[in-house]
A and B are shown apart, each in its own frame.
Chain A
């Protein structure tokens, strides 16, 4: 079992997200994470979905998505030619004497402090899944108060535009 990332361009109107996620549950595929937002043409949205499964599952997911009327393009992303980023907001326990060393870790990971209180720091970080995991692991010993994460968003490297690709 592996994780595959799909980039799906869909018509931007009510119900489309529901239809896409509904297809996953109907066919028994598990969604690991999902991020959705408009693309360069606001009539369309991009849904970036990470799905658990093997190659045969991903093949079926791709084809079943392609059958949906409001889906314009489906692309299974290949790691080596894709730029992937996720965002994490993490509120960490930070008493006065620990604040400086925590801020040092934030600098190393090129994160940003976005909120401060006498006993906590809220940090914003973006990066690949692995980088964010490493950052998180470094902060665990201080005590994590709260965490919010998005799923990945991704674009293929190079000049090609996914939404111009013809549907299979």
Chain B
């Protein structure tokens, strides 16, 4: 079949079972958008207000469904508007395929109108990228791109298509499953875990008196929830989650000791600091999690299990490591431990100690102004939804409060920018999450600072009837930065006061969305209940105290058992 580059692109997307794409048209992608118009009965396109919104939407879609997200933008400024979204996906290992147009091949390199070397610009923040200068290679490149995005440690991939290539015809044949699968190993470099590695791991578990399990984003991306729970229950160790792993081990499980790291719980941080065996399942030991690396887990033997071999010994030196899909490793471990009498060392004292520290987890935010608090808000969200809800956040204090005060009992429900910390992520990500999960409730928790950044996407929510409930945790300031200025800059609040418009309720109304001004918990509960039942988007502007702090807190670069705020 003789097809143009744009038609081949559409057919290749259908080969990958893509049914939803996010994007924004422009000159260089006119041929592609012409095909999107013709294929609209098969592939649903969501037009956002800004390319950044589209990039976060594709990312939110990928994180919440596990399927690769797809985002399309034009050349030049359209492509560069994706950069933040690409970097956000890269840092959190999210599978997204970005497709950009470029000027025609003979105009490349001549400073043409809306030209950008997007492959050069995004090289360090993509798992793979390339520019297609030969249309006969386009189908193969698209198939490779999807395989690379999804396999091993997932990540964003970018394909740059010059305008004339998108309109040049060549032979196309639909790929068989076998042909698609041949690229699977491109994005992953692992070999199946050996029985020696399993035995060594088992030995270390049996000899540990104070084991601790650190669950990281790798369990979320690797869908190893059942295996992680079974494994943890078998070895009876306390479990902590990084921000990217909340929900991958149930928050309401008796062995869960809380989030880890800079704003993690005391129980988890002391657990990691004082254990004698630290088992990392898919955590990359980010600086937010380990604090001062020289003092981290001094007394522990570290076992690092990860699908990406380059993470082993990158930040923390491990005593034993296994490079394979976590699902495979834990399945083998479970069967190795199941059939015999484990004879583990007694751990009652250790477990009791961690249990006693968990009482601290429930300490509430204190506020002086008679205003409602973040913990009350999250408590009531949990009561109203029983935890069966997508929580999409922006970045800052509200994000840390969400991690601390909401119990994430189910996997892939917390959609948040961890590695890159992108303010403004929430609006687009909520759109992608709702589009990918039409039957579920999606709550977008935002700070007032973050909300301002991409509130232009409210019109997208309204237009596509996405019943996203935006809850603005409004303290009239750039909260997290203010907290640091209070603690380390002697209260010099440089440019963190957000005592300015807009009136968020009026703004929501202007976008055709119902807005609520919330001052009491009664008002909150009523508004939340009404919004959840309305099937329509809503904005709840909740006023909280300006000086509410996130606790506990470990100062940056300090050991994680040293709390500057308790």
- A and B together in one complex: yes
**A residues in contact (CB < 8 Å) with B:** 15, 18-19, 22-23, 26, 56, 59-60, 63-64, 66-67, 69, 167-168
Task: Give A126 to B427 CA distance when docked, in angstroms.
Answer: 61
Beyond contacts A15-B123, A168-B309: 11 other A-B pairs, Cβ-Cβ < 8 A, are A15-B130, A15-B131, A63-B309, A63-B310, A63-B314, A66-B309, A67-B308, A67-B310, A69-B148, A69-B187, A167-B189
Whether B314 pairs with A69 at a CB distance below 8 angstroms is no
Whether B124 pairs with A26 at a CB distance below 8 angstroms is yes
Task: Give A168 to B123 CA distance when docked, in angstroms.
Answer: 22
| Other-chain residue from A22, A26, A66 in contact with B189 (beta carbon distance below 8 A) | A66
| Other-chain residue from B120, B128, B312 in contact with A69 (beta carbon distance below 8 A) | B128
Task: Give A60 to B314 CA distance when docked, in angstroms.
Answer: 7
Q: Which of B303-342 contact A (CB under 8 A)?
A: 308-310, 312-314
Task: Give A89 to B145 CA distance when docked, in angstroms.
Answer: 44
What are 19 A-B contacts with C-beta separation under 8 Å? A15-B123, A18-B123, A19-B123, A22-B123, A26-B124, A56-B313, A59-B313, A63-B309, A63-B310, A63-B312, A63-B314, A66-B309, A66-B310, A67-B189, A67-B310, A69-B148, A69-B186, A69-B187, A168-B189
Task: Give A23 to B124 CA distance when docked, in angstroms.
Answer: 7
Task: Give A56 to B368 CA distance when docked, in angstroms.
Answer: 51
For B190, give the chain A residue with the smallest CB separation.
A168
Chain B neighbourhood of A22, CB < 8 A:
123-124
Task: Give A23 to B308 CA distance when docked, in angstroms.
Answer: 16
Task: Give A26 to B186 CA distance when docked, in angstroms.
Answer: 22
State whether the Cβ of B119 lies closer than 8 Å to any Cβ in chain A. Answer: yes
State whether the Cβ of B127 lies closer than 8 Å to any Cβ in chain A. Answer: yes
Chain A neighbourhood of B131, CB < 8 A:
15
Task: Give A56 to B314 CA distance when docked, in angstroms.
Answer: 8
For A56, give the chain B residue with the smallest CB separation.
B313
Distance in Å from the Cβ of A71 to the closest Cβ of chain B? 10
Q: Which 9 A-B pairs have the closest CB atoms?
A: A63-B310, A69-B128, A26-B124, A22-B123, A64-B310, A67-B310, A19-B123, A22-B124, A63-B309
Task: Give A66 to B123 CA distance when docked, in angstroms.
Answer: 16
Task: Give A60 to B312 CA distance when docked, in angstroms.
Answer: 9
For A19, give the chain B residue with the smallest CB separation.
B123
Chain B neighbourhood of A23, CB < 8 A:
124
Chain B neighbourhood of A64, CB < 8 A:
310
Whether B120 pairs with A18 at a CB distance below 8 angstroms is yes
Task: Give A77 to B274 CA distance when docked, in angstroms.
Answer: 40
Distance in Å from the Cβ of A130 to the closest Cβ of chain B? 32
Task: Give A26 to B538 CA distance when docked, in angstroms.
Answer: 42
For A167, give the chain B residue with the smallest CB separation.
B189
Chain B neighbourhood of A69, CB < 8 A:
127-128, 148, 186-187
Distance in Å from the Cβ of A138 to the closest Cβ of chain B? 44
Chain A neighbourhood of B189, CB < 8 A:
66-67, 167-168
Of the candidates B130, B131, B310, B312, the one having the most CB atoms from chain A within 10 angstroms of its own CB is: B310
Task: Give A74 to B187 CA distance when docked, in angstroms.
Answer: 16
Distance in Å from the Cβ of A72 to the closest Cβ of chain B? 12
Distance in Å from the Cβ of A167 to the closest Cβ of chain B? 7
Chain B neighbourhood of A26, CB < 8 A:
124
Task: Give A167 to B309 CA distance when docked, in angstroms.
Answer: 12
Task: Give A19 to B6 CA distance when docked, in angstroms.
Answer: 27
Q: Which of B118-144 contact A (CB under 8 A)?
A: 119-120, 123-124, 127-128, 130-131
Chain A neighbourhood of B309, CB < 8 A:
63, 66, 168
For A68, give the chain B residue with the smallest CB separation.
B128
Distance in Å from the Cβ of B423 to the closest Cβ of chain A? 23
Distance in Å from the Cβ of A20 to the closest Cβ of chain B? 10
For A69, give the chain B residue with the smallest CB separation.
B128
Task: Give A63 to B310 CA distance when docked, in angstroms.
Answer: 5
For B187, give the chain A residue with the smallest CB separation.
A69
Chain A neighbourhood of B120, CB < 8 A:
18
Task: Give A69 to B186 CA distance when docked, in angstroms.
Answer: 7
Task: Give A18 to B121 CA distance when docked, in angstroms.
Answer: 11
For B133, give the chain A residue with the smallest CB separation.
A14
Task: Give A19 to B124 CA distance when docked, in angstroms.
Answer: 8
Task: Give A63 to B304 CA distance when docked, in angstroms.
Answer: 16
Question: Beta-carbon contacts of B147-186 to A below 8 Å, as 1s and 0s?
Answer: 0100000000000000000000000000000000000001
Distance in Å from the Cβ of A121 to the closest Cβ of chain B? 41
For B148, give the chain A residue with the smallest CB separation.
A69
Distance in Å from the Cβ of A148 to the closest Cβ of chain B? 28
Chain B neighbourhood of A167, CB < 8 A:
189
Task: Give A143 to B314 CA distance when docked, in angstroms.
Answer: 47
For A23, give the chain B residue with the smallest CB separation.
B124
Task: Give A168 to B190 CA distance when docked, in angstroms.
Answer: 8
Chain A neighbourhood of B314, CB < 8 A:
60, 63
Of the candidates A15, A23, A56, A64, the one having the most CB atoms from chain B within 10 angstroms of its own CB is: A15
Task: Give A64 to B312 CA distance when docked, in angstroms.
Answer: 11
Chain B neighbourhood of A60, CB < 8 A:
310, 313-314
For B191, give the chain A residue with the smallest CB separation.
A168
Task: Give A67 to B124 CA distance when docked, in angstroms.
Answer: 12
Task: Give A10 to B274 CA distance when docked, in angstroms.
Answer: 45
Task: Give A18 to B148 CA distance when docked, in angstroms.
Answer: 20
Chain B neighbourhood of A67, CB < 8 A:
189, 308, 310
Task: Give A18 to B310 CA distance when docked, in angstroms.
Answer: 20
Task: Give A19 to B312 CA distance when docked, in angstroms.
Answer: 22
Task: Give A69 to B131 CA distance when docked, in angstroms.
Answer: 15
Task: Give A69 to B512 CA distance when docked, in angstroms.
Answer: 47
Task: Give A67 to B123 CA distance when docked, in angstroms.
Answer: 13
Distance in Å from the Cβ of B193 to the closest Cβ of chain A? 15
Distance in Å from the Cβ of A112 to the closest Cβ of chain B? 39
Task: Give A26 to B90 CA distance when docked, in angstroms.
Answer: 14
Task: Give A60 to B130 CA distance when docked, in angstroms.
Answer: 25
Distance in Å from the Cβ of A114 to the closest Cβ of chain B? 35
Whether A15 pairs with B308 at a CB distance below 8 angstroms is no
